[in-house]
Amino acid sequence: MISVVIVGTGNVAQNLFYALDKTSNVEVKQIVGRNENHFSFTKGKVPTTTDYTKIDNADIYILAITDDSIGIVAQKIKHIKGIIVHTSGATSITALSGHKQPGIFYPLQTFTKGKIISFAEIPICIEAKTSVDLKLLRELGNTLSNTVIAIDSDQRKKIHVAAVFVNNFTNYMYTIGKEICEENNLDFKLLHPLIKETAAKLEDLTPIEAQTGPAKRNDQKTLHNHLNLIKNNHQRELYTLLSNAIKEKHGKEL
Amino acid sequence: MISVVIVGTGNVAQNLFYALDKTSNVEVKQIVGRNENHFSFTKGKVPTTTDYTKIDNADIYILAITDDSIGIVAQKIKHIKGIIVHTSGATSITALSGHKQPGIFYPLQTFTKGKIISFAEIPICIEAKTSVDLKLLRELGNTLSNTVIAIDSDQRKKIHVAAVFVNNFTNYMYTIGKEICEENNLDFKLLHPLIKETAAKLEDLTPIEAQTGPAKRNDQKTLHNHLNLIKNNHQRELYTLLSNAIKEKHGKEL
């Protein structure tokens, strides 16, 4: 049995709690947060506290809090004994300096308020200072996910950049798609199946293989027509930049 | 029973054939193509021809061919009687001028070579010159899909632009994500669950609501760190442009 204390009450903390609460070989001993009113998601299943001096003993302390708070909270709970990890993709393990057993437990996923998702398919990136600590983090990860991978802070930061492209920037493409639909009285839902299939294609094809469209085909006529249709300057700028990038990537003359 | 002739042997033609062949109230009478060797997908189930003068009579002729060929092929088969449609998002109905019953039958989806997908969830955008023709196209669409929508050529071209953003450009974001993974010896598959969830979120949230990440939070520290990590100039340019766009969209100071 691995004992765990979760520090945090946000989306990641809540999802971790629900997932760990279901496993038979992990005991969530306590949830720690700043605000008494944010504990309702625990439904009274575990003790909670807002007092950092009253943190329970545990094998692993998980700081599921904002990047900026990690260093501050880590300093406040210097007295705890055990492995202390954070769940951030962008934050170095050095944010936990001052602790003997720092580590990382980074679930590579986007968490949405009020949406509980299954951890089984979520890769968990772990890091620790000793092989003993790494082993325990791997054990914890394996209770949740089929994919637990040990990577160092440099690699984690790089995969976090890649995640920004495939998640944050992709979502921005959806934002523009919705804008264009709304400007033309079209229901954005018409694009949902296309969006899903674009993601699903990666099961079978690399993104280079999956690329389609006028830029890939160097179809000047359609590219030109599209630019004539787009009235918004920002959309035009993006359309041109990304089309040129795709043309270049696929070896077409500009 | 609606009788159909399909002109074309590519991904869209093949997918249409497989889907229509399964319905009980549509008869695919013939497949027409330029190359005898490209008919193998029919498995001998329907007659085929490479001779445009030998096209069979049908209620609807579907030109599932490249945008550039639509006008040329339409001219070659001016003798046919019935509704003639093309399946292109970017091409006007006027490409079929010279025919009395031109129309559009545009499945809003990305089709991949060798991959057969279900039409049930694919929106089919239809257009015709008369309500009688539109009714028959709607009937044909309903045999395949739960979503058949009549939109005019202008709207169709606009939704095609939106499709380029959510499909072509999104896939390009995946391409960059994979590049960053490969440069750092990370398996791109680690990002697949994130990519899927990013698309799946749209079931519950608008893209504006679903936006997360350092740009949305105006997290200057992470934005700065990411730019330091990205060595490729093109990736840096994209990162800056898209982050600034997200910051602006979400009302943060630049």
The secondary structure element, H or E, covering residue B213 is none
Q: What would the mean pLDDT of A28-36 be, rounded to a whole number? A: 96
Q: How confident is the model at residue A212 (pLDDT cuts 50, 70, 90)?
A: very high
- pLDDT surpasses 50 at A253: no
Are B123 and A193 a contacting pair at CB < 8 A? yes
pLDDT tens digit sequence for B223-233: 999 999 999 99
Burial of A91 (C-beta count, 10 Å sphere; 0-12/13-18/19+): buried
Let me know if residue B108 belongs to a domain.
yes
- Residue that terminates a domain, selected from B151, B186, B213: B151
CATH number, position A215: 1.10.1040.20
Reported ipTM: the value is 0.94
Let me know if residue B254 belongs to a domain.
no
Q: Judging by DSSP bridges, how do beta strands B102-107 and B124-128 pair with one another?
A: antiparallel
Are A112 and B201 a contacting pair at CB < 8 A? yes
pLDDT tens digit sequence for A83-128: 999 999 999 999 999 999 999 999 999 988 878 889 999 999 999 9
Structure-token match 């990047």, residue found: A67
| C-alpha separations of B66 from A198, A244, B8, B90, B166 in Å | 20, 21, 9, 11, 21
**CA nearest A163: which of A220, A226, A111, A95?**
A111
Task: Identify all chain A residues contacting B184, using CB atoms and an 8 Å cutoff.
Answer: 154-155, 158-159
3-state helix, strand, coil in chain A (%, to 5): 50, 15, 35
Tokens (6 digits) for B223: 């934005």
| C-alpha separations of A191 from A183, A225, B67, B154, B211 in Å | 15, 20, 21, 17, 18
Question: Hey, is the C-beta of B211 within 8 angstroms of any chain A C-beta?
Answer: yes
Question: What is the per-residue burial (b if ≥16 Cβ within 10 Å, else e) of B160-195?
Answer: bbbbbbbbbbbbbbbbbbbbbbeebebebebbbbbb
DSSP B48: E
Let me know if residue A120 belongs to a domain.
yes
Residue A141 DSSP SS3: helix
pLDDT of residue A202: 96
Let me know if residue A147 belongs to a domain.
yes
B209 and B177 housed in the same domain: yes
Let me know if residue B103 belongs to a domain.
yes
B174 and B56 housed in the same domain: no
B244 and B166 housed in the same domain: yes
A39 and A139 housed in the same domain: yes
Q: Judging by DSSP bridges, how do beta strands B60-63 and B48-49 pair with one another?
A: unpaired
For an interface test with A, give the residue of B109, B117, B198 to mutate (most A CBs within 10 A): B198
- Residue that terminates a domain, selected from A88, A116, A151: A151
B139 and B175 housed in the same domain: no
Of the partner residues B167, B219, B249, the one whose CB lies closest to the CB of residue A175 = B249
Question: Hey, is the C-beta of B241 within 8 angstroms of any chain A C-beta?
Answer: yes
Are B170 and A198 a contacting pair at CB < 8 A? yes
The Cα A252–Cα B64 span in angstroms is 25
| C-alpha separations of A44 from A31, A38, A62, B126 in Å | 10, 12, 19, 55
B179 and B210 housed in the same domain: yes
Pick from A59-63, A74-78, B248-252: least confident: B248-252
- pLDDT surpasses 50 at A11: yes
pLDDT of residue A172: 98
A137 and A118 housed in the same domain: yes
- pLDDT surpasses 60 at B15: yes
DSSP A214: H
The Cα B138–Cα B175 span in angstroms is 37
CA–centroid distance for A190 within its chain: 27
The Cα B43–Cα B24 span in angstroms is 19
Let me know if residue A68 belongs to a domain.
yes
Per the DSSP assignment, residues forming a β-bridge with B83 are B60
A123 and A227 housed in the same domain: no
The Cα B142–Cα B134 span in angstroms is 12
CATH number, position A111: 3.40.50.720
- pLDDT surpasses 70 at A207: yes
The Cα B184–Cα B61 span in angstroms is 51
Question: Hey, is the C-beta of A116 within 8 angstroms of any chain B C-beta?
Answer: no
Task: Identify all chain B residues contacting A185, using CB atoms and an 8 Å cutoff.
Answer: 155
pLDDT tens digit sequence for B133-186: 999 999 999 999 999 999 999 999 999 999 999 999 999 999 999 999 999 999
Tokens (6 digits) for B244: 């600034």
Q: Where are the alpha helices (DSSP H) in A122-187?
A: 131-144, 153-163, 170-183
Question: What is the dihedral sign for C-alpha A138, A140, A141, A144?
Answer: positive
B129 and B242 housed in the same domain: no
Let me know if residue A254 belongs to a domain.
no
Range of the domain at B144: 2-151
- Residue that terminates a domain, selected from A93, A126, A151: A151
A167 and A187 housed in the same domain: yes
B17 and B123 housed in the same domain: yes
For residue A208, the tally of other CB atoms under 10 A from its CB is 15
Q: How many domains does chain B have?
A: 2
Let me know if residue B19 belongs to a domain.
yes
pLDDT of residue A208: 96
Question: What is the per-residue burial (b if ≥16 Cβ within 10 Å, else e) of B200-210?
Answer: bbbeeeebeeb
pLDDT tens digit sequence for B189-212: 999 999 999 999 999 999 999 999
- pLDDT surpasses 50 at A254: no
Q: How confident is the model at residue B253 (pLDDT cuts 50, 70, 90)?
A: very low
For an interface test with A, give the residue of B159, B209, B211 to mutate (most A CBs within 10 A): B159
Per the DSSP assignment, residues forming a β-bridge with B105 are B126
Q: How many helices (H) and strands (E) does chain A have?
A: 10, 8
| C-alpha separations of A184 from A171, B39, B54, B92, B155 in Å | 20, 39, 41, 17, 7
B43 and B147 housed in the same domain: yes
Q: What would the mean pLDDT of B118-141 be, rounded to a whole number? A: 97
